[in-house]
Chains A and B, each alone.
Chain A
Amino acid sequence: MPSFNDRNLIPRGLERCSLQGFALRLAPWLLLFAFGAYCIYLCLRFGLNQTNMDNRFAFGLWIFLDLTVIALGAGAFFTGFLLYLMKWKALKSVINSAVIIGFVCYSGAMVALAVDVGQPLRAWFTFWHPNVHSMLTEVSFCITCYLTVLAVEYIPILLKNRKLKQIPSFLVFEFELHKVIPVLAAVGTLLSFFHQGSLGGLYGVLRGRPFAYREGFAIWPSTFFLFILSAIAVGPSFILLTTKLAEKLSRKPLVRGGVYQMLGKTSGVLLTVYVALKSVDTLIWLNKTSQAAGFTPFEFYTFKPFGTWILFAEIVLLGLVPALLLLSSRMRARPAVLTGAAILACCGVALNRFVLTIQTLALPTLPFDEFLSYFPSWQEFGVFAAVLAYGVLVYAVSFRYLPLFPDEKQLTAPVETEELEYVSRS
């Protein structure tokens, strides 16, 4: 058997497992991806009757997935913003990884969205006759632009591949592109800011759904601002978690410890602000907005299993607790606490997105209507799995063949203990 070797594609000086080992580890993900691709085919070919969504539960698992991965993917733009515009140089060691995470999250969300709509081929209509009052228009525009930005930001990382950079024009293009990256980081920040917000606005503007409806400033409901804040609060946490996971799986140090502290602290500070504002927002909503719409707020929480515990879990357990843990430098210094708090923070945002998408639809509005339940079909789970597997595959392949962590080489180099003697007898 001819032994194909991909050593010449792996960055020089980095230790990676054998190609066979790599393929073996990716095989389950490839299978999962193939299964998911089949589900995508089913949904596109036979229509959305393959899902368990219905006229009442018009949005389901996929929208929850989109909102969550896009919130977690906020680490990409926010890290870029801190590094290139705020000059937090230490973040250089995670920026490549952050860009890929962002790219994976956004492109994955785009795929899920394309499957989720009934007529994907009409997506361009939004650009041809947009309704400028719709939050979804804002989302479509910003995500399309930002995905382009992420793709352009991905190019220099891709061109850093050992084989690709041998090609002179690629090398030169990478070099020149890298010089203008701050411009893209600035554009990306602007775009992300607006679409993270408009994703929140998506539900906040629903006057007909008092559970989701919020008042706000100008054309934007308060969820617009809360979504931005929560996304930039957990973005760094998610970068922290993925990097830690990559370290654990590759059994190598990839970034210096200070970077984790920096990411954790950033998350902590922003999460604290978020929790405070979210609490104020919730109080206003309970006491004013929802009452004005003719709904008793606590009726929202009378349906099992969506009791008030969900509100408590979202704001205190998965909001305040990780915020305080990340804020205290003593707690943060302990790796287990840091990782745990980051996980809690990410779960908190996922729960927030879940409540806003799923609970909103489950709750009845008409007086003679009932609380609804919905459980996704296997095709829906399949598409979810495809997005997940796609992310894992892109990240794993990038990790193997691209220099994702600039510090890895130095950190894995043997420690210099003392001056060694080379010549035994001289």
Chain B
Amino acid sequence: MAATKKHRRYGMVVDIDLCTGCGACMVACAAENNVAPAPERATDRTGITPMRVYPVHNGAPGDRRQTAFLPLMCMHCSEPPCESVCPQQAVELDEATGIVTQMPQRCLGCRYCMTACPYHARYFNWWDPQWPVGMEATLNPTVAPRSRGVVEKCNLCASRLHAAEDQATAEGQPMPATYVSACVEACPTGAMVLGDLDDPDTEAHKLAKAEGTFQLLAKLGTRPKVYYHSSRPWVRSLSERNAKEQAHA
């Protein structure tokens, strides 16, 4: 069993040039992961958006202004700054998949991991999750809802990975090199690609190595497994805080 089980290193490549900012990925993510509707008092800083599309622009005035959209989720760092800070091992970098897992049932809700994350990809459940009557029927049975007071984040649709894995096992296949997460499935322009970054046959691997691909805040040494791609230099300059300053200057 162990011999046939291949370690994977799942990651994503997002082509910013293809993203229209429609937000379908955000909706799909929330639906897939049973994110409860935001209470009335919630703001854009207290809601739960494991996948979040940021509008960005080049800072230029008038008609020289260019806008792009940057979908931001957990970067699934190979050196996750959140993992080492959790006091009770609720965050784990899964060696077999490369996914940074958050275990809400272990989480104390101290939010130390949230301060540690430079990508702000972690979200706290400020409210009790509540669904309007009748909406429970639409809940995804493969994902457990999270209680109030714990942190959650993108887990690269682990339940979908498990399903794909189960199917592969049933067919006598090794762990799949790629599978479809909710956001990838929902994206109308195909801007997102998910797959094993180490497997030379996957598209994700090829795109990650392509010209114009970058990681966010690479200099922090977190080694993200989510890559971005753009042919526009000003978009690529968003990879570093410093570079942006220079680009604006």
Contacts and interface: CB of A to CB of B under 8 A. Distances in A.
Interface residues of B, number: 60
Given A208-B117, A368-B56, A135 B241 contact: no
B230 interface: no
B127 interface: yes
- Per DSSP, are chain A's interface residues mostly helix, strand or loop, or mixed? loop
Contact of A56 (B88, B120, B237): B120
B111 A54 contact: no
A120 to B, nearest CB: 8
B124 A58 contact: yes
A134 B149 CA distance: 20
A55 B123 CA distance: 6
B118 A366 contact: yes
With a 10 A CB-CB cut-off, give which of B43, B54, B219, B238 has the most chain A CB atoms.
B219
B90 to A, nearest CB: 8
A365 B88 contact: no
A36 B72 CA distance: 39
Interface in A289-346: 292-296, 299
B83 to A, nearest CB: 8
A282 interface: no
Interface in B81-131: 81, 84-89, 106-112, 114-120, 122-128
A210 B84 contact: no
A368 B238 contact: yes
Nearest to B39: A49
A117 B119 CA distance: 22
With a 10 A CB-CB cut-off, give which of A55, A130, A136 has the most chain B CB atoms.
A55
A367 B116 contact: no
Given A209-B115, A299-B245, A118 B88 contact: no
A208 B118 CA distance: 5
Nearest to B117: A208
A299 B176 CA distance: 45
B4 interface: no
Contacts of B244: 367-368
B45 interface: yes
A234 interface: no
A287 to B, nearest CB: 15
B14 to A, nearest CB: 14
B45 A117 contact: no
Contacts of A294: 217-220, 240-243
B87 A293 contact: no
A174 B86 CA distance: 41
A45 to B, nearest CB: 11
B148 A118 contact: yes
- Per DSSP, are chain B's interface residues mostly helix, strand or loop, or mixed? loop
Contacts of B117: 208
A55 B120 contact: yes
A368 to B, nearest CB: 4
A118 B149 contact: yes
Contact of B243 (A57, A117, A292, A367): A367
A206 B149 contact: no
A206 B115 CA distance: 8
Interface in B58-97: 70, 72, 79, 81, 84-89
Given A126-B108, A207-B81, A292-B219, A131 B124 contact: no
Interface in A119-153: 119, 122-123, 125-126, 128-131, 133-137, 140
Interface string A34-56: 00000000000001110001111
A128 B147 CA distance: 21
A55 B108 contact: no
B169 interface: no
Nearest to A302: B245
Nearest to B113: A58
Contacts of B120: 55-56, 365-366, 369
28 contacts: A49-B126, A54-B43, A54-B46, A55-B114, A55-B122, A118-B109, A118-B124, A119-B147, A119-B149, A129-B106, A134-B84, A135-B85, A137-B88, A205-B84, A206-B116, A208-B81, A208-B116, A208-B117, A208-B220, A209-B118, A294-B218, A294-B241, A299-B241, A299-B245, A360-B115, A365-B118, A365-B217, A366-B217
Given A117-B110, A118-B108, 8 more contacts: A55-B114, A58-B111, A119-B147, A126-B88, A129-B89, A131-B86, A365-B217, A366-B217
Interface of B: 39, 41, 43, 45-47, 54, 56, 70, 72, 79, 81, 84-89, 106-112, 114-120, 122-128, 147-151, 216-222, 237-245
